[in-house]
Structure 1
Amino acid sequence: MKLSYLIGLISLSVAPSITFANDIFSATEADSGMPGQFYAGFSLLKSDAECNYEGVACDSTGYKIATGYKFNDNFAVEGGYYDLFTNDGTNATTGEKSTVNGSGLALSTIGTYSIDGKSSLSGKVGFMAWDAEANKAGVPVVGMSGTDILLGVGAGYRLNDHWQLRGEYEQIGGDLEAKVYSLGTTLSTL
Protein backbone atom coordinates (compact mmCIF):
# COMPACT_ATOMS: atom_id res chain seq x y z
CA MET A 1 0.00 0.00 0.00
CA LYS A 2 2.74 2.47 0.96
CA LEU A 3 4.70 1.60 -2.19
CA SER A 4 1.73 2.30 -4.49
CA TYR A 5 1.08 5.54 -2.61
CA LEU A 6 4.76 6.52 -3.01
CA ILE A 7 4.78 5.73 -6.73
CA GLY A 8 1.64 7.81 -7.27
CA LEU A 9 3.00 10.71 -5.23
CA ILE A 10 6.33 10.68 -7.07
CA SER A 11 4.60 10.47 -10.46
CA LEU A 12 2.51 13.50 -9.65
CA SER A 13 5.52 15.49 -8.47
CA VAL A 14 7.93 14.56 -11.26
CA ALA A 15 5.61 14.64 -14.31
CA PRO A 16 5.07 18.43 -14.22
CA SER A 17 8.83 18.93 -13.80
CA ILE A 18 9.57 16.81 -16.85
CA THR A 19 6.98 18.65 -18.96
CA PHE A 20 8.25 22.02 -17.73
CA ALA A 21 11.86 21.02 -18.45
CA ASN A 22 10.96 19.92 -21.98
CA ASP A 23 9.28 23.29 -22.63
CA ILE A 24 12.22 25.29 -21.29
CA PHE A 25 15.04 23.30 -22.83
CA SER A 26 13.54 22.13 -26.12
CA ALA A 27 15.14 24.95 -28.11
CA THR A 28 18.56 24.16 -26.65
CA GLU A 29 18.30 20.49 -27.54
CA ALA A 30 17.07 21.26 -31.06
CA ASP A 31 19.88 23.73 -31.65
CA SER A 32 22.60 21.35 -30.48
CA GLY A 33 21.14 18.35 -32.32
CA MET A 34 22.01 16.24 -29.25
CA PRO A 35 19.25 14.38 -27.44
CA GLY A 36 19.32 13.64 -23.71
CA GLN A 37 21.44 10.91 -22.19
CA PHE A 38 20.82 7.99 -19.88
CA TYR A 39 23.39 7.44 -17.15
CA ALA A 40 24.18 5.05 -14.34
CA GLY A 41 26.33 5.56 -11.28
CA PHE A 42 27.85 3.86 -8.27
CA SER A 43 28.98 5.63 -5.10
CA LEU A 44 30.39 4.67 -1.74
CA LEU A 45 28.68 6.48 1.10
CA LYS A 46 28.94 7.31 4.78
CA SER A 47 25.64 7.81 6.61
CA ASP A 48 24.96 9.51 9.90
CA ALA A 49 21.39 8.73 10.98
CA GLU A 50 19.77 9.83 14.24
CA CYS A 51 18.77 6.42 15.58
CA ASN A 52 20.15 3.54 17.64
CA TYR A 53 19.02 0.27 19.13
CA GLU A 54 20.48 -0.93 22.45
CA GLY A 55 23.56 1.19 21.92
CA VAL A 56 24.07 0.23 18.24
CA ALA A 57 24.13 3.46 16.21
CA CYS A 58 22.69 3.81 12.71
CA ASP A 59 25.97 5.17 11.35
CA SER A 60 28.05 3.23 8.88
CA THR A 61 29.42 3.02 5.39
CA GLY A 62 27.35 1.74 2.50
CA TYR A 63 26.76 2.32 -1.18
CA LYS A 64 24.26 3.70 -3.64
CA ILE A 65 23.40 2.67 -7.17
CA ALA A 66 21.63 5.25 -9.33
CA THR A 67 20.34 5.64 -12.84
CA GLY A 68 18.89 8.67 -14.52
CA TYR A 69 18.14 10.63 -17.62
CA LYS A 70 19.80 13.97 -18.44
CA PHE A 71 17.49 16.10 -20.55
CA ASN A 72 20.47 18.38 -21.14
CA ASP A 73 23.56 19.54 -19.23
CA ASN A 74 21.39 21.38 -16.69
CA PHE A 75 18.48 19.10 -15.79
CA ALA A 76 18.12 15.40 -14.93
CA VAL A 77 15.76 12.97 -13.22
CA GLU A 78 17.42 10.23 -11.15
CA GLY A 79 16.34 7.14 -9.23
CA GLY A 80 18.50 5.06 -6.95
CA TYR A 81 18.92 2.40 -4.28
CA TYR A 82 20.74 3.41 -1.07
CA ASP A 83 22.30 0.92 1.36
CA LEU A 84 22.18 3.47 4.18
CA PHE A 85 23.53 1.58 7.17
CA THR A 86 24.40 -1.85 8.54
CA ASN A 87 25.94 -1.87 11.98
CA ASP A 88 26.17 -4.31 14.88
CA GLY A 89 27.29 -4.47 18.48
CA THR A 90 27.18 -6.65 21.57
CA ASN A 91 25.27 -5.81 24.73
CA ALA A 92 27.84 -5.61 27.57
CA THR A 93 25.37 -7.00 30.13
CA THR A 94 23.66 -9.84 28.26
CA GLY A 95 26.25 -10.60 25.57
CA GLU A 96 23.54 -10.65 22.89
CA LYS A 97 24.40 -9.30 19.45
CA SER A 98 22.21 -6.51 18.05
CA THR A 99 22.15 -5.31 14.44
CA VAL A 100 20.57 -2.31 12.67
CA ASN A 101 19.97 -2.18 8.91
CA GLY A 102 18.56 0.58 6.71
CA SER A 103 18.02 1.06 3.00
CA GLY A 104 15.97 3.26 0.70
CA LEU A 105 14.71 3.93 -2.82
CA ALA A 106 14.90 7.52 -4.03
CA LEU A 107 13.58 9.57 -6.93
CA SER A 108 14.95 13.07 -7.48
CA THR A 109 15.24 15.94 -9.90
CA ILE A 110 18.73 17.38 -10.29
CA GLY A 111 19.76 20.83 -11.50
CA THR A 112 23.38 21.24 -12.60
CA TYR A 113 25.50 24.33 -13.29
CA SER A 114 28.69 23.88 -15.33
CA ILE A 115 31.60 25.97 -14.05
CA ASP A 116 34.19 25.47 -16.79
CA GLY A 117 32.98 22.63 -19.03
CA LYS A 118 34.60 19.97 -16.82
CA SER A 119 33.61 20.98 -13.27
CA SER A 120 30.00 21.37 -12.15
CA LEU A 121 27.83 22.05 -9.11
CA SER A 122 24.42 20.44 -8.59
CA GLY A 123 21.34 20.58 -6.39
CA LYS A 124 18.90 17.72 -5.78
CA VAL A 125 15.27 17.61 -4.59
CA GLY A 126 13.30 14.40 -4.25
CA PHE A 127 11.76 11.71 -2.06
CA MET A 128 13.10 8.57 -0.40
CA ALA A 129 11.07 5.53 0.65
CA TRP A 130 13.12 3.78 3.34
CA ASP A 131 13.05 0.75 5.62
CA ALA A 132 14.99 0.27 8.85
CA GLU A 133 15.15 -2.81 11.05
CA ALA A 134 16.78 -3.85 14.32
CA ASN A 135 17.64 -7.46 15.11
CA LYS A 136 18.50 -8.95 18.49
CA ALA A 137 20.33 -12.29 18.42
CA GLY A 138 19.32 -12.65 14.75
CA VAL A 139 15.59 -12.12 15.38
CA PRO A 140 13.88 -8.97 13.98
CA VAL A 141 12.51 -6.98 16.93
CA VAL A 142 11.87 -3.44 15.66
CA GLY A 143 11.05 -2.25 12.15
CA MET A 144 10.20 1.14 10.71
CA SER A 145 9.51 2.49 7.25
CA GLY A 146 8.52 5.79 5.76
CA THR A 147 8.79 8.28 2.94
CA ASP A 148 10.78 11.45 3.51
CA ILE A 149 12.12 14.47 1.64
CA LEU A 150 15.60 14.13 0.10
CA LEU A 151 17.67 17.28 -0.48
CA GLY A 152 21.25 17.39 -1.68
CA VAL A 153 24.14 19.34 -3.14
CA GLY A 154 27.07 18.00 -5.09
CA ALA A 155 30.05 18.63 -7.28
CA GLY A 156 31.21 16.76 -10.35
CA TYR A 157 34.28 16.55 -12.55
CA ARG A 158 33.96 15.26 -16.12
CA LEU A 159 36.83 12.91 -17.02
CA ASN A 160 35.67 12.56 -20.65
CA ASP A 161 32.39 12.54 -22.61
CA HIS A 162 31.11 9.48 -20.75
CA TRP A 163 32.73 9.29 -17.27
CA GLN A 164 32.28 11.72 -14.41
CA LEU A 165 33.45 11.75 -10.78
CA ARG A 166 30.73 12.92 -8.39
CA GLY A 167 30.65 13.82 -4.71
CA GLU A 168 27.42 14.61 -2.86
CA TYR A 169 25.99 15.60 0.49
CA GLU A 170 22.35 14.57 0.96
CA GLN A 171 19.92 15.17 3.81
CA ILE A 172 16.96 12.88 4.45
CA GLY A 173 14.42 14.72 6.58
CA GLY A 174 11.23 13.56 8.25
CA ASP A 175 10.75 10.36 10.22
CA LEU A 176 14.31 9.30 9.38
CA GLU A 177 16.81 12.09 9.97
CA ALA A 178 20.03 11.20 8.17
CA LYS A 179 23.03 12.86 6.56
CA VAL A 180 24.64 10.99 3.66
CA TYR A 181 28.08 11.77 2.22
CA SER A 182 29.03 9.97 -1.01
CA LEU A 183 31.78 9.78 -3.59
CA GLY A 184 31.48 7.87 -6.84
CA THR A 185 31.35 7.84 -10.60
CA THR A 186 28.74 7.97 -13.36
CA LEU A 187 28.78 6.59 -16.89
CA SER A 188 26.69 8.34 -19.56
CA THR A 189 25.43 6.92 -22.86
CA LEU A 190 26.62 8.21 -26.22
Structure 2
Amino acid sequence: MNHTLLWRVLVLAGCLCCFQSVQADDDMPTNTTPATNYLGASLGTASSEFCTGLNNCGETSNTWKAYSGVRMSDKIFIEAAYVKFGEQQGLDGSTKISSNAKGYSTAGVVTYPLNAQIELFGKAGMWWWESEQKSTAGTQATDGSDILLGVGANYNLGNNMGVRAEWERYQRSQGSAAKQALDLLSVGVTFSSL
Protein backbone atom coordinates (compact mmCIF):
# COMPACT_ATOMS: atom_id res chain seq x y z
CA MET A 1 0.00 0.00 0.00
CA ASN A 2 1.61 3.25 -1.09
CA HIS A 3 1.46 6.61 0.67
CA THR A 4 -0.92 8.16 -1.90
CA LEU A 5 -3.50 5.37 -1.56
CA LEU A 6 -3.31 5.44 2.24
CA TRP A 7 -3.75 9.22 2.34
CA ARG A 8 -6.82 8.89 0.09
CA VAL A 9 -8.31 6.29 2.45
CA LEU A 10 -7.64 8.53 5.45
CA VAL A 11 -9.17 11.56 3.71
CA LEU A 12 -12.24 9.49 2.83
CA ALA A 13 -12.50 8.34 6.45
CA GLY A 14 -12.26 11.98 7.57
CA CYS A 15 -15.03 12.99 5.15
CA LEU A 16 -17.21 10.17 6.48
CA CYS A 17 -16.56 11.43 10.02
CA CYS A 18 -17.62 14.95 9.08
CA PHE A 19 -20.71 13.70 7.22
CA GLN A 20 -21.78 11.49 10.13
CA SER A 21 -21.24 14.32 12.62
CA VAL A 22 -23.54 16.59 10.61
CA GLN A 23 -26.17 13.85 10.26
CA ALA A 24 -26.11 12.98 13.99
CA ASP A 25 -29.24 14.11 15.84
CA ASP A 26 -31.00 13.79 19.18
CA ASP A 27 -32.21 10.22 18.57
CA MET A 28 -28.65 8.89 18.99
CA PRO A 29 -28.78 6.01 21.51
CA THR A 30 -27.94 7.19 25.00
CA ASN A 31 -27.97 3.89 26.86
CA THR A 32 -25.86 1.71 24.58
CA THR A 33 -23.30 -0.44 26.34
CA PRO A 34 -19.81 -0.08 24.88
CA ALA A 35 -17.84 -3.17 23.90
CA THR A 36 -15.65 -4.52 26.69
CA ASN A 37 -12.80 -5.73 24.48
CA TYR A 38 -11.65 -6.04 20.89
CA LEU A 39 -9.20 -7.67 18.48
CA GLY A 40 -7.95 -6.22 15.22
CA ALA A 41 -5.39 -6.23 12.44
CA SER A 42 -4.10 -3.44 10.22
CA LEU A 43 -1.99 -2.94 7.11
CA GLY A 44 -0.01 0.22 6.60
CA THR A 45 3.04 2.00 5.39
CA ALA A 46 5.94 3.25 7.50
CA SER A 47 8.44 6.03 7.01
CA SER A 48 11.58 7.16 8.83
CA GLU A 49 14.77 9.11 8.23
CA PHE A 50 16.49 5.89 7.10
CA CYS A 51 16.29 6.97 3.44
CA THR A 52 18.07 10.29 4.02
CA GLY A 53 21.14 10.35 1.74
CA LEU A 54 20.25 7.05 0.00
CA ASN A 55 19.19 6.53 -3.63
CA ASN A 56 16.21 4.44 -4.82
CA CYS A 57 15.09 4.11 -1.22
CA GLY A 58 11.69 3.03 0.03
CA GLU A 59 9.64 0.42 1.82
CA THR A 60 9.76 -2.91 -0.04
CA SER A 61 7.00 -4.76 1.85
CA ASN A 62 3.87 -3.90 3.79
CA THR A 63 3.90 -3.06 7.45
CA TRP A 64 1.27 -4.89 9.49
CA LYS A 65 0.16 -5.16 13.08
CA ALA A 66 -2.23 -7.14 15.26
CA TYR A 67 -3.74 -5.67 18.41
CA SER A 68 -6.10 -6.38 21.28
CA GLY A 69 -7.69 -4.07 23.81
CA VAL A 70 -9.70 -4.19 27.01
CA ARG A 71 -12.02 -1.36 28.09
CA MET A 72 -11.11 -0.15 31.58
CA SER A 73 -13.81 2.54 31.82
CA ASP A 74 -16.32 4.26 29.57
CA LYS A 75 -13.59 6.03 27.54
CA ILE A 76 -10.31 4.32 28.46
CA PHE A 77 -8.74 1.14 27.02
CA ILE A 78 -5.52 -0.74 27.62
CA GLU A 79 -4.19 -2.01 24.28
CA ALA A 80 -1.44 -4.52 23.48
CA ALA A 81 -0.04 -5.00 19.96
CA TYR A 82 2.59 -6.68 17.83
CA VAL A 83 3.91 -4.66 14.88
CA LYS A 84 6.20 -5.76 12.03
CA PHE A 85 7.53 -2.95 9.88
CA GLY A 86 8.16 -3.53 6.19
CA GLU A 87 11.81 -3.61 5.13
CA GLN A 88 13.28 -0.35 3.91
CA GLN A 89 16.02 -0.57 1.27
CA GLY A 90 18.23 1.95 -0.47
CA LEU A 91 21.55 2.39 -2.24
CA ASP A 92 24.58 4.19 -0.83
CA GLY A 93 26.57 4.46 -4.04
CA SER A 94 26.53 0.85 -5.24
CA THR A 95 26.09 -0.62 -1.75
CA LYS A 96 22.60 -1.90 -0.86
CA ILE A 97 21.52 -1.08 2.71
CA SER A 98 18.34 -2.39 4.33
CA SER A 99 16.63 -1.93 7.67
CA ASN A 100 13.72 -3.66 9.39
CA ALA A 101 12.09 -3.54 12.81
CA LYS A 102 9.45 -5.32 14.87
CA GLY A 103 8.17 -5.11 18.39
CA TYR A 104 5.50 -5.43 21.06
CA SER A 105 3.64 -2.52 22.64
CA THR A 106 1.31 -1.61 25.49
CA ALA A 107 -0.61 1.66 25.44
CA GLY A 108 -3.40 3.53 27.15
CA VAL A 109 -6.12 4.61 24.70
CA VAL A 110 -8.53 7.48 25.43
CA THR A 111 -11.63 7.70 23.23
CA TYR A 112 -14.06 10.47 22.33
CA PRO A 113 -17.32 9.40 20.63
CA LEU A 114 -18.63 11.81 17.98
CA ASN A 115 -21.85 9.83 17.51
CA ALA A 116 -23.11 6.24 17.59
CA GLN A 117 -20.77 5.18 14.75
CA ILE A 118 -17.59 7.28 14.99
CA GLU A 119 -15.11 7.35 17.85
CA LEU A 120 -11.89 9.38 17.87
CA PHE A 121 -8.96 8.22 20.01
CA GLY A 122 -5.48 9.10 21.19
CA LYS A 123 -2.91 6.73 22.63
CA ALA A 124 0.39 6.77 24.49
CA GLY A 125 2.50 3.89 25.71
CA MET A 126 5.72 1.89 25.44
CA TRP A 127 7.08 -0.50 22.86
CA TRP A 128 9.86 -3.07 23.05
CA TRP A 129 11.63 -3.36 19.70
CA GLU A 130 14.26 -5.25 17.74
CA SER A 131 15.91 -3.78 14.65
CA GLU A 132 18.42 -4.99 12.04
CA GLN A 133 20.40 -2.97 9.54
CA LYS A 134 22.16 -4.95 6.79
CA SER A 135 24.84 -3.98 4.29
CA THR A 136 27.86 -5.58 2.64
CA ALA A 137 29.78 -4.76 5.83
CA GLY A 138 27.51 -7.10 7.80
CA THR A 139 24.44 -7.00 10.00
CA GLN A 140 24.00 -4.74 12.99
CA ALA A 141 21.21 -5.74 15.39
CA THR A 142 19.90 -3.49 18.14
CA ASP A 143 17.00 -3.59 20.55
CA GLY A 144 15.47 -1.41 23.21
CA SER A 145 12.30 0.12 24.54
CA ASP A 146 10.83 3.55 23.93
CA ILE A 147 7.60 5.52 23.79
CA LEU A 148 4.86 5.44 21.18
CA LEU A 149 2.14 8.00 20.47
CA GLY A 150 -0.86 7.85 18.15
CA VAL A 151 -4.21 9.27 17.07
CA GLY A 152 -6.99 7.81 14.97
CA ALA A 153 -10.66 7.05 14.47
CA ASN A 154 -12.91 4.01 14.62
CA TYR A 155 -15.97 3.65 12.38
CA ASN A 156 -18.61 1.17 13.61
CA LEU A 157 -19.92 -1.05 10.79
CA GLY A 158 -22.37 -2.94 13.02
CA ASN A 159 -22.38 -6.62 14.01
CA ASN A 160 -19.38 -6.01 16.29
CA MET A 161 -17.17 -4.97 13.36
CA GLY A 162 -15.42 -1.69 12.70
CA VAL A 163 -12.80 0.04 10.57
CA ARG A 164 -9.86 1.79 12.19
CA ALA A 165 -7.56 4.40 10.64
CA GLU A 166 -4.61 5.75 12.62
CA TRP A 167 -1.22 7.43 12.69
CA GLU A 168 1.42 6.30 15.20
CA ARG A 169 4.96 7.36 16.00
CA TYR A 170 7.31 4.70 17.37
CA GLN A 171 10.44 6.25 18.90
CA ARG A 172 13.82 4.48 18.71
CA SER A 173 16.57 6.26 20.58
CA GLN A 174 19.22 3.61 21.21
CA GLY A 175 21.98 2.61 18.82
CA SER A 176 23.21 4.32 15.69
CA ALA A 177 21.49 1.84 13.35
CA ALA A 178 18.05 2.37 14.83
CA LYS A 179 17.89 5.92 16.13
CA GLN A 180 15.24 7.06 13.64
CA ALA A 181 11.63 7.22 14.80
CA LEU A 182 9.15 5.23 12.70
CA ASP A 183 5.88 6.86 11.58
CA LEU A 184 3.09 4.42 10.74
CA LEU A 185 -0.12 5.16 8.81
CA SER A 186 -2.49 2.18 8.87
CA VAL A 187 -6.03 1.05 8.16
CA GLY A 188 -7.53 -2.09 9.66
CA VAL A 189 -10.55 -4.05 10.80
CA THR A 190 -11.62 -4.43 14.44
CA PHE A 191 -13.85 -7.08 16.01
CA SER A 192 -15.37 -6.13 19.37
CA SER A 193 -17.40 -7.67 22.21
CA LEU A 194 -15.44 -10.93 22.16
Instruction: Using structure 1 for the length normalisation, give the TM-score.
Output: 0.70
| Cα deviations by residue, 1:101-155 (Å, 9 ceiling, x for unpaired) | 1112111010111111101100001011111112235x85212222111111101
User: Do 2:111 and 2:121's aligned partners in 1 also have CA atoms closer than 8 Å?
Assistant: yes
**Contact 2:98 2:134 (C-alpha < 8 Å) held by counterparts:** yes
Q: Unpaired segments of 5 or more residues in structure 1?
A: 1-31
Comparing both structures, which one devotes a greater share of its residues to strand?
1
Cα distance in structure 2, aligned partners of 1:91 and 1:151: 31
Partner in structure 2 of residue 77 of structure 1: 78
Instruction: Write the letter of the residue equivalent to 1:162.
Output: N
* TM-score, scaled to structure 2: 0.69
Q: Are 1:185 and 2:184 an aligned pair?
A: no
Shift of 1:73: 4.5
User: Which residue in 1 is equivalent to 2:146?
Assistant: 148
> Structure 2, unaligned stretches of length 5 or more?
1-30, 174-179
Is the 1:74–1:113 contact (alpha carbons within 8 Å) kept by the matching residues of 2? yes
Q: Is the contact made by 1:132 and 1:144 (CA closer than 8 Å) also made in structure 2?
A: yes
Deviation of 1:50 after TM superposition, in Å, equals: 2.0
8 Å contact from structure 1 (residues 36, 72) kept in 2: no
CA contact 2:59–2:88 (8 Å) conserved in 1 = yes
Secondary structure of the structure 2 residue equivalent to 1:51: helix
The question of 1:168 aligning with 2:172 is answered: no
Kindly provide the CA deviation profile for residues 11-63 of structure 1, in whole angstroms up to 9, marking residues without a partner as x: xxxxxxxxxxxxxxxxxxxxx79686221111011111222599375746311
Contact 1:133 1:140 in 2 (8 A): no
Aligned length: 156
Q: Does the residue aligned with 1:109 lie in a helix, a strand or coil? A: strand
Fraction of identical pairs, as percent: 27
User: What is the aligned partner in structure 2 of residue 107 from structure 1?
Assistant: 106
Report the AA paired with residue 41 of structure 1: G
- Kept in 2, the 8 Å contact 1:36–1:71? The answer is no
Change (3 A) 1:185 1:131: same
